[in-house]
């Protein structure tokens, strides 16, 4: 068996290598669209005497909303004394889980591509390499399902907490009869919605890639050999007795 690095770009033209390159790209889009997010909602307070107040609510990854202050100090708004108030909720665990899985996939895709392009001759001749690759690929596909579902729920919690209903239930001033609260300018959460889409897309891509990795394992080769061996045996004619 030949050892050492031997650059060969042919695997990129095959599903095994090409899909791994796609996984590398989709992982970048997944953690990039979520991990760097920051947005601001503008809350308008309509006071009974016709005077209006505004509050800026800025939140960002990892979305620990319980640390985001609606009011950072005791103040007076609409002739009412209002204490320090924070948003309600914490989506940090789901957001960081999602980004963490994306980063792991990004790094593993780089390592796998390095193996495919430089050590494919050793990969094919090894039983451990394809079996390890298949097991990890299948596990990552499942992780994408879990983390994308968790992040989709966490994102909905962020939207609820920073929307009009969430602000109204959090800010005591909004419960006064002469004060109305409304979010009049919403942060653009398009990139966060895209991150969820890329999460499920990654799940589909990794699940599909698991099949092509499985074809490189001895499990598939043994099954293929057994099936064709049985077919060849049935195709042989039994000589007639004399």
Q: Which of 124-133, 154-163, 223-232 has the weakest average pLDDT?
A: 223-232
**Other CB atoms within 10 A of residue 217 CB:** 19
Average per-residue pLDDT for the chain? 86
Q: Say yes or no to pLDDT of 241 above 60.
A: no
pLDDT confidence of 94, banded at 50, 70, 90?
very high
> What pLDDT is recorded for position 38?
94
Q: How remote is the C-alpha of 132 from its chain's centroid?
A: 23
pLDDT tens by residue, 5-52: 888 888 888 888 899 999 999 999 999 999 989 999 999 999 877 778
pLDDT tens by residue, 48-77: 777 788 889 999 999 999 999 888 878 888
Q: Say yes or no to pLDDT of 234 above 80.
A: no
Are 120 and 5 spatial neighbours (Cβ–Cβ below 8 Å)? no
How many Cα atoms occupy the beta-carbon half-sphere of 212 within 13 Å?
13
pTM: 0.84
Which pairs count as long-range contacts for 68-76, CB under 8 Å and 24+ apart, including other chains?
70/43, 70/167, 70/170, 70/171, 71/171
Antiparallel, parallel or unpaired: β 38-47 and 179-185: antiparallel
Are 151 and 193 spatial neighbours (Cβ–Cβ below 8 Å)? no
Q: How remote is the C-alpha of 60 from its chain's centroid?
A: 17
Are 210 and 141 spatial neighbours (Cβ–Cβ below 8 Å)? yes
Residue 47 DSSP SS3:
strand
| CA 56/CA 103 separation, integer angstroms | 32
| CA 160/CA 35 separation, integer angstroms | 20
Nearest-5° Cα angle at 22, 21 to 24: 65
């Amino acid at each position: 068996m030949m050892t050492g690095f031997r650059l060969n770009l042919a695997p990129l033209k095959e599903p095994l290598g090409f899909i791994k390159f796609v996984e590398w790209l989709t992982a970048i889009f997944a953690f990039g669209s979520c991990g760097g997010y920051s947005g601001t909602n503008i809350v308008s307070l309509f006071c009974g005497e016709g005077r209006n107040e505004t509050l800026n609510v800025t939140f960002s990854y990892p979305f620990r909303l319980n640390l985001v202050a609606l009011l950072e100090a005791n103040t007076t708004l609409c002739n009412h004394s209002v204490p320090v108030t924070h948003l309600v909720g914490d989506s940090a665990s789901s957001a960081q889980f999602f980004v963490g899985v994306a980063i792991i996939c990004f790094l593993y895709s780089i390592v796998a591509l390095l193996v495919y392009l430089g050590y494919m001759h050793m990969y094919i001749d090894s039983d451990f390499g394809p079996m390890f690759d298949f097991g990890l690929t299948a596990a990552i596909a499942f992780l994408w399902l879990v983390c994308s579902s968790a992040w989709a729920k966490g994102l909905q919690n962020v939207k609820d907490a920073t929307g009009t209903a969430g602000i109204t239930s959090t800010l005591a001033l909004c419960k006064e009869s002469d004060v109305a609260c409304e979010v009049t300018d919403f942060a653009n959460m398009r990139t966060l919605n895209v991150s969820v889409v890329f999460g499920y897309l990654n799940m589909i891509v990794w699940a599909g890639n698991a099949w092509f990795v499985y074809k490189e394992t001895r499990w598939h080769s043994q099954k293929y050999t057994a099936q064709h061996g049985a077919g060849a045996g049935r195709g042989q004619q039994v000589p007639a007795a004399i």
